[in-house]
Amino acid sequence: GENVEQHPSTLSVQEGDSAVIKCTYSDSASNYFPWYKQELGKRPQLIIDIRSNVGEKKDQRIAVTLNKTAKHFSLHITETQPEDSAVYFCAASENSGAGSYQLTFGKGTKLSVIP
């Protein structure tokens, strides 16, 4: 099955700086890579995603890049704000056959933005 590695596990940045979280995946057939943000005590929420036919996608202060050859993808947050503090999860879509897909998640990165 798919294996997703996520680094770093914790990340502290000063307000206004950029944050980068990196993930690698093992299954070259994976073709969908979402990122989720989870605030303390809340549910994970989709913040951005990228498909394998795209190399980069941007939405305001967040961007995701994908390198299919190297099997890694990254989340970039610019001009960080205290409200960006949360746990971020990357995921890769695994095809288990007969049109059935599931997401395999990384273990998460706890981002702290210091005012």
Partner 1 sequence: NAGVTQTPKFQVLKTGQSMTLQCAQDMNHNSMYWYRQDPGMGLRLIYYSASEGTTDKGEVPNGYNVSRLNKREFSLRLESAAPSQTSVYFCASSLTGGGYGYTFGSGTRLTVV
Residues that bind partner 1 (CB under 8 A): 1, 6, 9, 31-32, 34, 42-46, 49, 51, 89, 93, 95-96, 98-108
Backbone φ and ψ of 52, nearest 5°: -70, -15
- Give least dist CB 103 to partner 1, A: 6
Do the strands 100-105 and 109-114 form a parallel or antiparallel pair, or are they unpaired? Answer: unpaired
Based on CB atoms, which residue is closest to partner 1, 41 or 115? 41
- Give least dist CB 83 to partner 1, A: 20
Based on CB atoms, which residue is closest to partner 1, 34 or 85? 34
Helix (H) or strand (E) holding 46: strand 45-51
Based on CB atoms, which residue is closest to partner 1, 2 or 84? 2
The burial class, CB within 10 Å (0-12 / 13-18 / 19+), for 88 is: buried
36: left (phi over 0), alpha (psi -120 to 50) or beta: beta
- Give least dist CB 48 to partner 1, A: 9
DSSP state of 27: -
Based on CB atoms, which residue is closest to partner 1, 58 or 107? 107
